[in-house]
Amino acid sequence: MKKKKILVIEDDYDLSALMIRHLHSSDYNVLNVGDAIQGVQFARKEIPDLIILDLMIPGGGGLNVLERLNRLSETQSIPIIVLTGIHDAEMKKKVLEAGAIEYLEKPYNAQELLRSVEEHIVEPDKAQEEAGSVGKILIVDDDTDFVKKLSLDLHRANYTTFVAYDVDQGMRLAREEKPALIILDLLLPGGGGFTFLKNLKNLVYTQNIPVIVLTAVKDEEYRQKMMEAGVKYYIEKPYDLSFLLNAIEVAI
């Protein structure tokens, strides 16, 4: 099985060397950069399985890196562990809200970090890994925290995900990426989910893409309207992962 790849974004050379040694001993492949600009560039180029991020790094700071990676469709599903010397409850809250999966405080504790890595790193089963992605899914939803969790769940099930945060961006990605399925929220900027669905069905090259609505809108009349418009399933948030994965498999 291919080694999991971890990107360490940390400008403290001695600490980086120590982390790399411990991660290597646990059979991880480790990359290391020391500033925010390189961190974003390497994350986009290498698509690591997990990122360990310091906040006090040159080039814009770790929080900026976290927010940028969480906005990019190619990196927003990568789990990010923040390891920092900032002991501040407000900063911790801000970092977790920005999409980090864990906030660890320095001084560095090797056992604590390795525990967190093992808990959060994506581990698709061997059969799926050998077969590659089982399909591309476009998520159209403007809730970044929700999208982060959903993308990670789908990535663990070996789906490739793309994310759009409004109607126009969703239509563009539907045309360009030709996903196997679209997961659609209803409360979207740019006209809402029904407008998106109407636009999708009006185009020959997107009208046959199956759509699952995943929404907080609990309204039977609206559910019926969306089903009549051609959605495969209407699922209310919070979702049950087993049910969602089964619905995706049936819809595709």
pLDDT at 54 exceeding the cut of 60: yes
Instruction: Give the pLDDT of residue 233.
Output: 96
What proportion of the chain, given as a percentage, has pLDDT over 90?
Answer: 61
Neighbours of 19 (CB within 10 A): 22
pLDDT at 53 exceeding the cut of 80: yes
Query: Strand 233-236 to strand 160-164: parallel, antiparallel, or no bridges (unpaired)?
Result: unpaired
Query: How far is 210 from 225, CA to CA, in rounded Å?
Result: 16
pLDDT at 252 exceeding the cut of 50: yes
8 φ, ψ (degrees, to nearest 5): -100, 120
Instruction: Give the pLDDT of residue 145.
Output: 75
Query: How far is 31 from 213, CA to CA, in rounded Å?
Result: 38
For the beta sheet containing 102-105, the strands, ordered from the edge strand earlier in sequence to the opposite edge, are: 29-33, 5-9, 50-53, 80-84, 102-105
Query: How far is 76 from 95, CA to CA, in rounded Å?
Result: 14
pLDDT at 103 exceeding the cut of 70: yes
> Mean per-residue pLDDT for 111-122?
85
Per-residue model confidence as pLDDT tens digits over 141-199: 988 778 878 988 888 888 988 888 899 999 999 998 889 999 999 999 899 999 999 99
For the chain, the residue count is: 252
* DSSP helix/strand/coil, 138: strand
Instruction: Give the pLDDT of residue 151.
Output: 86
The pTM of the full predicted model, rounded to 2 decimals, is 0.54
Q: Return all residues near 218 (Cβ < 8 A) that are at least 6 apart.
A: 236
> Mean per-residue pLDDT for 122-126?
47
Residue 23 near residue 117, CB atoms below 8 Å: yes
Domains, the chain, with CATH or none: 5-120 (3.40.50.2300), 133-251 (3.40.50.2300)
For residue 48, give the nearest of 136, 107, 117 by alpha carbon. Answer: 117
**Cα angle value 38/41/43 (rounded, 5°):** 105
* Mean pLDDT for the chain overall: 89
Query: Strand 50-53 to strand 29-33: parallel, antiparallel, or no bridges (unpaired)?
Result: unpaired
Q: Which two tokens stand for residue 15?
A: 């600490």
* DSSP helix/strand/coil, 46: helix
- At 84, the pLDDT band (50, 70, 90 cuts) reads very high
Instruction: Give the pLDDT of residue 131.
Output: 44
- At 129, the pLDDT band (50, 70, 90 cuts) reads very low
Of the two residues 234 and 204, the one the predictor is more confident about is 234
Instruction: Give the pLDDT of residue 144.
Output: 78
pLDDT at 126 exceeding the cut of 90: no
Q: Return all residues near 75 (Cβ < 8 A) that are at least 6 apart.
A: 43, 44, 47, 69
For residue 84, give the nearest of 95, 71, 69, 68 by alpha carbon. Answer: 95
Instruction: Give the pLDDT of residue 222.
Output: 86
